[in-house]
Amino acid sequence: MNLDHIWNRFIQLLQADPLINKAYYKKVAGIPFLYLRAIGNPPDRLLDAAIRRSSATAMKGKQLHSETVFVRSDDQLFVYRHRFFVPQQKMFCCGNQCADCVLLKGQSYWT
């Protein structure tokens, strides 16, 4: 899955948020960092909520998760380590009768 489309949609949604003046991301050593220039000095919880909301909308309909970790802030610039990732769980039956088969998810293993 190409995550560039998800990132572009995510950045568009963040820039449309009334709390955020500018949003962009850069990869440093393969780690994506999200840079937000806020309008005024909003509380951290409001920026976190805006990131979660935009991330959820960008990922809608996809089998993705996101993780956001605050890194630093300087005046009105906030930096987060943000990544989209595919969950590490089986999503289909491989036919090898595994104990954690997705076909057994709704059933108890011992019955």
Is 105's pLDDT higher than 80?
no
Closest CA to 84 of 63, 101, 99, 61: 63
Q: Residue 71 sits in a domain of what CATH number?
A: 3.30.980
pLDDT of residue 47: 93
Residue range 28-63, pLDDT digits in tens = 999 999 999 999 888 889 999 999 999 999 999 888
User: How many structural domains are present in the chain?
Assistant: 1
Task: Decide if 102 is inside a domain.
Answer: no
pLDDT of residue 44: 87
Task: Decide if 36 is inside a domain.
Answer: yes
pLDDT of residue 102: 77
Q: Average pLDDT of the chain?
A: 88
Query: What pTM does this model have?
Result: 0.76
Task: Decide if 105 is inside a domain.
Answer: no
3-class SS letters over the chain: CCCHHHHHHHHHHHHHCCCEEEEEEEEECCEEEEEEEECCCCCHHHHHHHHHHHHHHHHCCCCCEEEEEEEEEECCEEEEEEEEECCCCCCCCCCCCCCCCHHHCCCCCCC
Which domain does 58 fall in, by range?
4-85
Task: Decide if 93 is inside a domain.
Answer: no
pLDDT of residue 108: 47
